[in-house]
């Protein structure tokens, strides 16, 4: 039986649950990257500088937009925990989720942005809600959760980003499974060229400077091996982007290749291939939209125009 956490909550506990408009102490947000800001904005009046938000999404750049657009005042911002989540989940129905593949949950509280992530943060600087949520998640066996330093988490996030920047758009554009991108010379060429740009941007990121071994960990060859391993281990799966395109949902491309392009621009590194891939995915989504809009039978030739006022 999993261990039961009998420790009292660090917060004022009452026998009544807090009202629906009361302050939220701990919040876990597991929406797509492009929905996260809006999901938080909707309940931002209930979040205080004592709250902790745990963000579970793929891609990069979400936290920065939440800070800029939802909590612009650094003195009144909630605390955050960021994650890299590698379990496989599938939705059967509303509120019915299947655990399809066991992975891990790597967690790290987000440090003060003025302190480089390479500086270890002392545990006592974490807010009570952050400590509580971190302890709760790491003591939940099915999550296989481990806590990392901000610098450690950032490196796992960037590895996952590199994987998502290759597998997701290639499978979405070619409408194939993750494994199918492994057995074609053409896919291999595209993969290598994308990874050259991705590696150059990651290795130049100011937030990674000073961490030993970055050039090796994020070399194009190491990233390629990472992509190939994950594509083989999930060979029969359809990537989330392939599913999003086919189900006519917004994709996370802006937070994958889009982020690489934007950070590359800041660093003076041109990422023409990632730019192209991002636009090919957007174009595929736009083609679906216009085809389906065109499929609505509107016979404009036979529309009779009258000067009569509308009834």
Ligand X SMILES: NC(=O)C1=CN([C@@H]2O[C@H](COP(=O)(O)OP(=O)(O)OC[C@H]3O[C@@H](n4cnc5c(N)ncnc54)[C@H](OP(=O)(O)O)[C@@H]3O)[C@@H](O)[C@H]2O)C=CC1
Residues that bind ligand X (CB under 6 A): 30-33, 35, 38-39, 42, 56-58, 85, 88-89, 91, 240, 252
d(CA 155, CA 84): 10
What, of ligand X, ligand KPL, none, does residue 130 touch, CB below 5 to 8 Å by kind?
Answer: none
Question: Cβ of residue 86: shortest distance to ligand KPL, in angstroms?
Answer: 7
d(CA 149, CA 117): 8
Nearer to ligand KPL, 86 or 219 (CB): 86
β-partners of residue 54 are 28, 81
Nearer to ligand KPL, 40 or 166 (CB): 166
Nearer to ligand KPL, 47 or 223 (CB): 223
**Parallel/antiparallel/unpaired status of strands 88-93 and 96-101:** antiparallel
Give yes or no for a contact between 177 and 251, defined as CB atoms under 8 angstroms apart: no
What, of ligand X, ligand KPL, none, does residue 30 touch, CB below 5 to 8 Å by kind?
Answer: ligand X
Question: Cβ of residue 215: shortest distance to ligand X, in angstroms?
Answer: 27
Nearer to ligand X, 18 or 88 (CB): 88
CA-based end-to-end distance of the chain: 68
Question: Cβ of residue 63: shortest distance to ligand X, in angstroms?
Answer: 13
What, of ligand X, ligand KPL, none, does residue 239 touch, CB below 5 to 8 Å by kind?
Answer: ligand KPL
Nearer to ligand X, 143 or 269 (CB): 143
Question: Cβ of residue 85: shortest distance to ligand X, in angstroms?
Answer: 5
Segments in the chain forming alpha helices (H):
33-41, 62-69, 128-138, 150-174, 185-204, 214-217, 220-233, 240-246, 257-267, 272-294
What, of ligand KPL, ligand X, none, does residue 56 touch, CB below 5 to 8 Å by kind?
Answer: ligand X
Question: Cβ of residue 298: shortest distance to ligand X, in angstroms?
Answer: 29
Give yes or no for a contact between 94 and 125, defined as CB atoms under 8 angstroms apart: no
What, of ligand KPL, ligand X, none, does residue 51 touch, CB below 5 to 8 Å by kind?
Answer: none
What are the backbone angles phi and psi of residue 90, rounded to the nearest 5°?
Answer: -135, 140
d(CA 117, CA 207): 7
Question: Cβ of residue 170: shortest distance to ligand KPL, in angstroms?
Answer: 10
- The residues, any chain, with a CB within 8 Å of residue 264's CB and separated by 6 or more, are 197, 200, 201, 270, 271, 274
Compute how many other C-beta atoms are within 10 angstroms of the C-beta atom of residue 273: 18
The site for ligand KPL (CB under 6 A) is made up of: 58, 163-164, 167-168, 178, 230, 234, 237, 239-240
What, of ligand X, ligand KPL, none, does residue 35 touch, CB below 5 to 8 Å by kind?
Answer: ligand X
d(CA 248, CA 245): 5
């Amino acid at each position: 039986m999993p261990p039961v956490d009998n420790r009292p909550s660090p917060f004022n506990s009452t026998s009544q649950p807090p009202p629906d408009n009361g302050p939220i102490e701990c919040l876990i947000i597991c929406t797509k990257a492009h929905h996260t800001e809006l999901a938080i904005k909707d309940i931002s009046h209930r979040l205080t500088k004592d709250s902790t938000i745990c963000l579970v999404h793929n891609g990069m750049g979400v936290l920065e937009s939440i800070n800029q657009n939802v909590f612009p005042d650094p003195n009144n911002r909630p605390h955050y925990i960021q994650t890299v989540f590698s379990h496989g989940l599938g939705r059967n129905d509303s509120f019915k989720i299947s655990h399809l593949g066991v992975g891990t949950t790597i967690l790290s509280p987000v440090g003060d942005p003025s302190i480089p992530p390479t500086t270890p943060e002392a545990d006592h600087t974490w807010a009570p809600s952050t400590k509580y949520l971190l302890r709760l998640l790491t003591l939940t066996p099915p999550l296989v959760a481990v806590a990392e330093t901000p610098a450690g988490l950032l490196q796992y996030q960037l590895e996952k980003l590199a994987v998502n920047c290759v597998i997701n758009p290639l499978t979405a554009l070619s409408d194939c499974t993750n494994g199918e991108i492994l057995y074609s010379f053409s896919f291999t060429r595209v993969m290598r060229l994308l990874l050259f740009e991705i590696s150059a941007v990651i290795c130049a990121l100011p937030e990674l400077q000073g961490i030993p071994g970055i050039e090796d960990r994020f070399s194009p060859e190491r990233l390629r091996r990472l992509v190939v391993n994950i594509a083989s281990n999930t060979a029969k799966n359809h990537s989330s982007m392939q599913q999003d395109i086919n189900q006519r949902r917004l994709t996370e491309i802006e937070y994958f290749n889009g982020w690489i392009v934007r950070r590359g621009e800041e660093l003076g590194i041109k990422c023409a291939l990632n730019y192209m891939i991002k636009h090919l995915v957007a174009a595929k989504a736009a083609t679906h939209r216009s085809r389906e809009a065109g499929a609505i039978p509107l016979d404009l030739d036979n529309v009779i125009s009258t000067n009569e006022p509308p009834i």
